[in-house]
Amino acid sequence: MGPLAGIKIVELAGIGPGPFAAMLLADLGATVIRIDRPEAAGAKSAQAWKTNIVLRNRTTIAVDLKTDAGRGLVLSLVEEADCLIEGFRPGVTERLGIGPAECLACNSQLVYGRMTGWGQDGPLAHSAGHDLNYIAVAGVLDAIGRAGGPPTPPLNLVGDYGGGSLYLVVGILAGILHARATGQGQVIDAAIVDGAASLATGLFGRIAAGAHGARGTNVLDSGAPYYETYECSDGKWLSIAPIEEKFYAELCSRMDLEPSELGDRADRRTWPAIKSAFAARFKQRPCAEWCRLLEGTDACAAPVMSPAEAATHPHMRARGTLISVEGVIQPAPAPRFSRTVPETPVAASPPNLRATRRALESWLGQEWAERWVDLLDQ
């Protein structure tokens, strides 16, 4: 049983950060019922559900939220829930009759988690957008990329999942703690623009101090030769990050390079020459040889692995960081707990009558579960 065992969450189906936040909570033991549109719930094959990893560890039920029965079911579940998660544009759940006012009227201790890109208010609140737009406006995207090149999209890790999902989860858990202490629920307005900007707190501080230059010219953004990736003779890549002086000395020693001959690494004018020397040296051997020489030492080096390769790395295998669930390789629940160890994830599956009845029984009891199943079938 995970540390969140006993927590009940209603998730209104969406895309991106909302489902990932629900997965994180479910991974840690929360009971999550995911409510999806009937047409969307039946649009994917069983295999497609299984490989949609972010939907794991919860039961999906098909509900038409535009019907009285659909709205009624949500409010009945809310009465017994600790939290509701929704990721629609502002005002949508209000129009459906399942907004914060209606839900908190049913359960005054409910935490109503709202996940959007722009937030619940502001000039862009009702505009469409995606991860890249949000981190662009937040001042984060401009700092990502190489010198002389365009801003580089960092997948959707910084916006959707970092600035979105993780901040929503923090807000939900804080809200639940507050509700249990005071008996008062509240609305969590988790906006990706807010979270992404918060993630960049250190960056804003360095800029304010005059310690951060243009994109791709700084220590952590590929400007420094000692925080970079280099191609090896076999076309594979190696990452090095010996930021501290003693670690840098260790790297140079193992590469048979003399730091003093490379130039003063504290002088940014020497960085291009040092980078060229490193690139030429790494090109002399295949990645596996460099790993045998550097990995596991204070040189701070590690191979750049594909997701498929990562599952075979000795460290990842030893920790069980990546696991197989019904033949699908995926990350194990994180973080780790010494007492309340999360269970092995359960793959997502399409809605079916048996699973719906079982999920509703666990929340509402057998009699009410049967009534709702009958109403939803009508």
For the annotated catalytic residues, the residue numbers are 130, 160
- The conformation of residue 105, written as its DSSP 8-state character, comes to H
Q: Cα separation of 129 and 159, whole Å?
A: 12
Q: Which two tokens stand for residue 190?
A: 């988790």
Q: Cα separation of 60 and 43, whole Å?
A: 13
Q: 258: number of CA atoms within 13 Å, CB side?
A: 2
- The conformation of residue 111, written as its DSSP 8-state character, comes to E
Q: Cα separation of 286 and 310, whole Å?
A: 18
Sign of CA pseudo-dihedral 287, 292, 224, 200: positive
Q: Cα separation of 297 and 314, whole Å?
A: 15
Q: Which two tokens stand for residue 333?
A: 């629940």
Q: Which has the closest alpha carbon to 323: 340, 343, 303, 350?
A: 343
Estimate the crossing angle of helix 68-79 against helix 353-364, to 10 degrees: 50
Q: Assign 331 to helix, strand or coil.
A: strand
Exposure string over 130-166, b if 16+ CB within 10 A, otherwise e:
ebbbbbbbbebbebbbeeeeeeebbebebbbbbbbbb
